[in-house]
Amino acid sequence: MSDAVPVADVFDALAAAAPEIRAGFAGRAGETDDRNATGDRQLHADIHADDILRARLGGLDAVGQYASEEAEDVSDVGSGPLSISVDPLDGSSNLSANNPTGTIVGVYDAPLPAAGRDLVAAAYVLYGPLTTMVAATDDGATRYAITSDGRRDDEPAVLPDDPTVYGFGGRVPDWTAAFTDYARRVEDELKLRYSGAMVADVNQVLTYGGVFAYPGLRDRPTGKLRTQFEAIPMAYIVEAAGGASTDGTRSLLDVEPDTLHERTPIYLGNDALIDRAERIVS
Ligand code: AFP
């Protein structure tokens, strides 16, 4: 499916939600008493963003299922053919320091949990100094400016050939020996840029070329990031922009999650850097 009507509706609804989500940041950086399905403490801003997206995306005629990183289970929201996965506010802990956050959306033509190969579209919104969106279909990736009037100023999002930046998550003492070896080689060639919000860090890679990784750690081999909500949609966007992805051994689009909230190591970026990761860390 290309950017046909139902997928365009999802992108439009996300673009309409973004200013409302951003307007809700003020006063919502604090923690609630609740934790999400993966045990993270939820912020008021996480809940607020999820409420907005559940209403706007879950309310579309084309959508049958809605699943959020903030909720335990998939919700049946209608009879449409599309399923939506949402990380409502990725990097929300950055709000306290007034650093960037994002929203990640996957659109599948299969029930959730679903594989990357079931994606028909994906998009992320970056709440940086400006609000921008990168939306991808099988036809490629497009970058938009987001205003109160929706998405505009579209231009192709294409990963530059010459890599410049890298960002690796996790504490260095928690990295495996193989990943440390990979990181040392990348550090010799590229410049460190790491914000702590995956959307912002991947957006830098898409802008300048390079590699983003959150590897498996010594005491947590699957790493931190969620397969369905973060890894698969962002891999789809990076691959649509001309880049590559891996979990260490195969494209993240070939991963078939068994459960909604499982985690995976993740590497996204230029082909050569992803190939090298597979050679060194697998
Ligand atoms: P929060 O949503 O808790 O702020 O976590 C953000 C995130 O899931 C992802 O956006 C980052 O890439 C990653 O965690 C950062 O984790 P580290 O702080 O361990 O580097």
Strand ranges (E), the chain = 31-35, 41-43, 63-68, 75-76, 82-90, 101-108, 119-127, 131-137, 140-147, 150-156, 165-168, 191-192, 210-214, 244-246, 266-269
Residue 5's pLDDT is what? 52
CB 125 within 8 A of CB 18: yes
How far is Cα 116 from Cα 232, in angstroms, rounded to an integer? 5
**Residue 139, amino acid:** D
Q: How many CA atoms lie within 13 A of 9 on its CB side?
A: 14
Please list, in sequence order, all residues whose beta carbon lies within 8 angstroms of the beta carbon of residue 241, skipping any fewer than 6 positions away: 134, 136, 140, 141, 157, 158, 159, 206
- Report CA dihedral (228, 208, 89, 234) to the nearest 10 degrees: -10
The Cα 233–Cα 56 span in angstroms is 19
Burial of 134 by CB count in 10 Å (0-12 exposed, 13-18 middle, 19+ buried)?
buried
The answer, yes or no, to whether the previous bond of 265 is cis (omega within 30 of 0) is: no
Of ligand 1's atoms, which has the minimum distance to the CA of residue 102? 10
Q: What are 215's two structure tokens?
A: 């590897």
pLDDT confidence of residue 3 = 46
Query: CA-CA distance, 35 to 68, in Å (whole number)?
Result: 13
- Nearest alpha carbon, ligand 1 atom 15: 196
103 lines ligand 1 (CB under 6 A): no
Which structure tokens are listed for 269?
């970026």
Cα–Cα distances in angstroms (integers) from residue 97 to residues 44, 46, 51, 100, in the given order: 15, 16, 23, 9
- Expressed in angstroms and rounded, the spacing between residue 8 Cα and the centre of ligand 1 is 29
129: its two tokens: 């100094």
Q: Which atom of ligand 1 is nearest to the CA of 167?
A: 12
Please choose from 42, 93, 124 the residue to mutate so as to test ligand 1's pocket, defined by most ligand atoms within 8 A of CB: 93
pLDDT at 264: 98
Phi and psi based region of residue 80 (left: phi greater than 0; alpha: psi -120 to 50; beta: remaining): beta
Q: Looking at the DSSP assignment, which residues form a beta bridge with residue 244?
A: 269
């590229």: which residue's tokens?
A: 190
Q: Mean pLDDT in each 10-residue stretch from start to end of the chain (282 residues)?
A: 70 98 92 80 93 97 96 95 97 95 97 97 98 97 96 96 98 98 98 97 98 98 98 98 98 97 98 98 89
Structure tokens that stand for 108 in this block: 């599948």
- Does the beta carbon of 163 lie inside 6 Å of ligand 1? no
pLDDT score of 254: 98
- pLDDT for 4 equals 53
177-189 vs 271-281: helix crossing angle, rounded to 10: 150
Closest C-alpha to 233, from 102, 89, 151, 124: 124
